Amino acid sequence: MTVLARFSSFLLFGCIALGFFACEEEEVSQTADQAVIESYLISGEAIQVKITQIIAFDPENQQTRQTLDKLPVSIIHRGKKYPLSAQGEGIYTLDAKTLVPQAGEAYGLEVIYGSKTLTANTEIPAKPLGFTSSTSTFTVPTFGGGFPSFPDPVKLNWKSESGAYYLLVVKNIESSPDPIFENIDPEDLPNFRSEPIQANSYELNFQNFRFLGRHQVILYRIRPEYATLYEQNGTNSLNLANVPTNIEGGGLGIFTGIAAADVLSLTVNN
């Protein structure tokens, strides 16, 4: 799975929602010529950008999108421009041998879309340090045989910086995840993600797990623009007048830097 697909599939919305799902049809029709950009620069990983465009609504008010596949797209780093290669389906990539994001470095994005030049800037935050877990195993309670015994939560800790935002992801890595409860569809995405938090600790309880087996626990440090987009998408009053975006020049979307801590292992049993 590509970096963008892997990250967005369990950290954000699959494809960037930006509140469009809460917008009225006439509001979207007024911005049908705008490109929607989604790019997460993760320290040490290959750069990828996804560009789409909303073109219509169906009778049930669902979006129809098309990908934009033949645009000049470049990353700018330390005054040098690096053209990306179109891979189809709106995906543009830069060979990791050419350039990979590094903590503390600033990066720019430039997309030529018709007569518009869309730009954005971000910086890769420092990697979260001191990420630890109170345990490497967790036993979910058994229901149906009297009052269950609830286990202590998994206590996660790290060294936080003042004002910094963090996000936790718990990902089941079994090839055939075993659901904890019968009403869980094995085809459901077997992951958990927290909301963006400004803290140095987090507790995982049995409600955070849907599948047994091996899990990866990943702590991401994210930038304020990502936290704002995440928080705004959870409201019901979004419209295109107040959708957060850091794309300038007449586009929508997000171009943001992300850093991940070391991955912890956790096994869930019953």
pLDDT value at position 236? 37
Q: How confident is the model at residue 23 (pLDDT cuts 50, 70, 90)?
A: very low
| 113 & 208 share domain | no
pLDDT value at position 8? 52
CA–CA separation, 156 vs 211, rounded Å?
19
| 28 & 109 share domain | yes
| Tens digit of each residue's pLDDT (9 = 90 or more) over 230-256 | 776 544 333 444 567 899 998 888 999
CA–CA separation, 231 vs 45, rounded Å?
26
Which residue would you say has higher pLDDT here, 150 or 227?
227
| 104 & 165 share domain | no
Q: What is the span of the domain harbouring residue 122?
A: 3-126+243-258
| 156 & 119 share domain | no
| Tens digit of each residue's pLDDT (9 = 90 or more) over 65-100 | 789 999 999 999 999 999 999 999 999 999 999 999
pLDDT value at position 12? 47
| 81 & 141 share domain | no
| 67 & 9 share domain | yes
| 86 & 145 share domain | no
CA–CA separation, 258 vs 123, rounded Å?
8
232 lies in some domain: no
pLDDT value at position 113? 95
| 8 & 122 share domain | yes
Range list of β-strands (E), the chain: 35-42, 47-57, 63-67, 73-77, 80-83, 85-88, 91-94, 106-113, 116-123, 129-133, 137-139, 154-159, 165-172, 178-179, 191-193, 201-204, 211-222, 252-260, 264-269
164 lies in some domain: yes
- Cα distances (Å, whole numbers) of residue 3 to 53, 92, 254: 21, 12, 15
CA–CA separation, 213 vs 94, rounded Å?
35
Percent of the chain with pLDDT over 90: 54
Residue 121 has pLDDT above 70, yes or no: yes
| 76 & 158 share domain | no
- Cα distances (Å, whole numbers) of residue 139 to 77, 87, 105, 190, 212: 47, 43, 41, 17, 9
236 lies in some domain: no
Q: How confident is the model at residue 54 (pLDDT cuts 50, 70, 90)?
A: confident
| 90 & 202 share domain | no
Spatial CA neighbour of 102 closest among 47, 156, 31, 155: 47
pLDDT value at position 57? 54
Contact between 10 and 171 under an 8 Å Cβ cutoff? The reply is: yes
| 42 & 70 share domain | yes
226 lies in some domain: no
What is the DSSP track for 81-142? EEEPEEEETTEEEE-TTT----TT-EEEEEEEETTEEEEEEEEPPPPPEEEEES-SEEEPPP
What's the whole-model pTM score?
0.81
22 lies in some domain: yes
Task: Return mean pLDDT, the chain.
Answer: 82
Question: Could you report how far apart the first and last alpha carbons of the chain are, in Å?
Answer: 30
| 20 & 103 share domain | yes
191 lies in some domain: yes
Number of domains in the chain: 2
| Tens digit of each residue's pLDDT (9 = 90 or more) over 177-208 | 888 777 666 555 557 888 899 999 999 998 88
110 lies in some domain: yes
Q: How confident is the model at residue 147 (pLDDT cuts 50, 70, 90)?
A: low
Residues 6+ apart with CB under 8 A from 62: none
227 lies in some domain: no
Question: Averaged over 208-223, what is the pLDDT?
Answer: 92
